[in-house]
Amino acid sequence: MPGWEFFDENEKKQIDEVMETGIIMRFGFEGQRKARWKAREMEAEIRKKTGAAHALLLADGTAAITTALAALGVGAGDEVIMPPFTFVATFESIMAAGATPVVAEADDTLCLSPESVLEYITPRTKAVMPVHMCGAAGRLDELRSICRDRNLLLVEDACQAFGASYHGVPVGTIGDAGCYSFDFNKMVTCGEGGAIVTNSREIYERADMYHDHGHDHAQNDRGAEGHVFPGYNYRITELHAALGLAQIAKMDRFMSIQRENKRILKEKLSEVKDIRFRTLTDPEGDCATFLSFFTPTEDKARKTAAALKEAGVGGVFHWYDNNWHYIRNWSLFIERNFAHKIGSDILNGMADYTKRTFKSDDLISRCVSITISLKWSPDDALSCAEKAAAAIGKVL
């Protein structure tokens, strides 16, 4: 991770094909585009990789989540249960849809804890949004059965886990809708990009309309197209889709490199006493973008992360101190510092997060993740593993 480390002539060739016609818009211009439809092609690739019946490519993952919620009819007065360990885009897009984010807890899978979801369900709960953090699935069987029993929607934020699977089924395709991100730091990148997958034709069509001002895309003359409801402009460009096409063709190679490098690193770190690896609900389905583990205490995690960085192990995260991924440092959210006035439906429904305490603190404060590089040769991975094991051993 990330896929841009493997940019080569293929990305250039794809982009050149778009520039040869100059048609950067994904819709219309049939006469001029010489049958080049990069966004459509990328959607076909996403369907192939995930087995989903429908895929919609959009501007980014945040837009994908917002659009998926809108397509599912989630909005004002509705609550969406999400984990405290994610990227801020999860609560931002729930709010953008007009719904209220309700933050539950994470568990040792680093994803949403099913038991905690039960605690936070209210009569206003409309959807549950697990986030498959760091490339691997959460406890989807349990979450799915909670949603079935209570008639709630399951919307997967699979933005960090395109390519991951859960008992052989690609994540993103298990809920009513799933969202991926292809932003610059993800394993497969469009530069900026995102996607929604679903097996429901109706949800797909609603998302397709919503992400393009309501256009029904029923004919070739945009001016004459119908619109059922208004939407936004969350369209992807052909240039971004073209880049993504070159990247998705390399995805199997990315996964096998990462899996092998992670295996080498994990084997070595298994020798270190007193660390416990993150629980993987489906080890075979892990994208292997990170190796994550828990140390006995918060202090030791902080020292471990520092020691790893000092030893030259790149891409080390102690998420508890990170401003973007754990609720502890989301002061903007906790103190309600929003750019504009927020609807009272959202604000009144929100808990007072200045007072909330999180059981997840114990877990996330002890968690350290090491990014698995696509650039490592097996020898690099081994030498990194040896450095890491020595550095952690000294701290613990």
Ligand X SMILES: *Cc1c(COP(=O)(O)O)cnc(C)c1O
The site map against ligand X for 93-122 (x = CB under 6 A) is: ------------------------------
- Residue pair 166/143 in contact (Cβ under 8 Å)? The answer is no
Q: How far apart are CA 230 and CA 126, in angstroms?
A: 22
- Residue pair 131/160 in contact (Cβ under 8 Å)? The answer is yes
How many CA atoms lie within 13 Å of 352's alpha carbon, on the beta-carbon side? 2
Our finding on whether 67 is near ligand X (CB under 6 A) is: no
Cβ closer to ligand X: 46 or 395? 46
How many CA atoms lie within 13 Å of 42's alpha carbon, on the beta-carbon side? 32
Cβ closer to ligand X: 140 or 159? 159
How many residues of this chain bind ligand X (CB under 6 A)? Answer: 14
Of residues 138, 194, 285, 349, which one binds ligand X by CB under 6 A? 194
Binding segment for ligand X (CB under 6 A), chosen from 153-161, 314-322, 327-335, 360-368, is 153-161
Our finding on whether 183 is near ligand X (CB under 6 A) is: yes
| 3, amino acid identity | G
Binding segment for ligand X (CB under 6 A), chosen from 85-93, 164-172, 314-322, 348-356, is 85-93
Our finding on whether 90 is near ligand X (CB under 6 A) is: yes
Nearest-CB residue to ligand X?
A: 61
Of residues 41, 43, 45, 60, which one binds ligand X by CB under 6 A? 60
Q: How far apart are CA 350 and CA 108, in angstroms?
A: 26
Our finding on whether 61 is near ligand X (CB under 6 A) is: yes
Cβ closer to ligand X: 242 or 275? 242
Q: How far apart are CA 280 and CA 293, in angstroms?
A: 11
Structure tokens at 6: 């493997």
| 39, amino acid identity | A
Our finding on whether 247 is near ligand X (CB under 6 A) is: no
Cβ closer to ligand X: 103 or 275? 103
Closest CA to 154 of 201, 199, 88: 199
Cβ closer to ligand X: 4 or 29? 4
Q: How far apart are CA 191 and CA 143, in angstroms?
A: 32
Taking CB atoms within 8 Å and a gap of at least 24, the contacts of 9-12 are 10/246, 10/249, 10/250, 11/242, 11/243, 11/246, 11/247
Our finding on whether 208 is near ligand X (CB under 6 A) is: no
Which whole-number Å values give the CA distances from 216 to 20, 66, 211, in the listed order?
28, 19, 10
Residues in the chain: 396
Q: How far apart are CA 41 and CA 92, in angstroms?
A: 29
The site map against ligand X for 18-57 (x = CB under 6 A) is: ----------------------------------------
Our finding on whether 87 is near ligand X (CB under 6 A) is: yes
Cβ closer to ligand X: 81 or 275? 81
Cβ closer to ligand X: 62 or 281? 62
Of residues 50, 66, 67, 86, which one binds ligand X by CB under 6 A? 86
Our finding on whether 173 is near ligand X (CB under 6 A) is: no
Min separation Cβ 266 and ligand X, Å: 22
Cβ closer to ligand X: 175 or 194? 194
Alpha helix locations (H) across the chain? Answer: 9-19, 38-50, 61-71, 89-96, 114-120, 140-150, 201-210, 238-248, 251-269, 298-310, 331-334, 344-349, 360-364, 378-395
Name the residues that contact ligand X, by CB under 6 A: 60-62, 86-87, 89-90, 131, 157, 159-160, 181, 183, 194
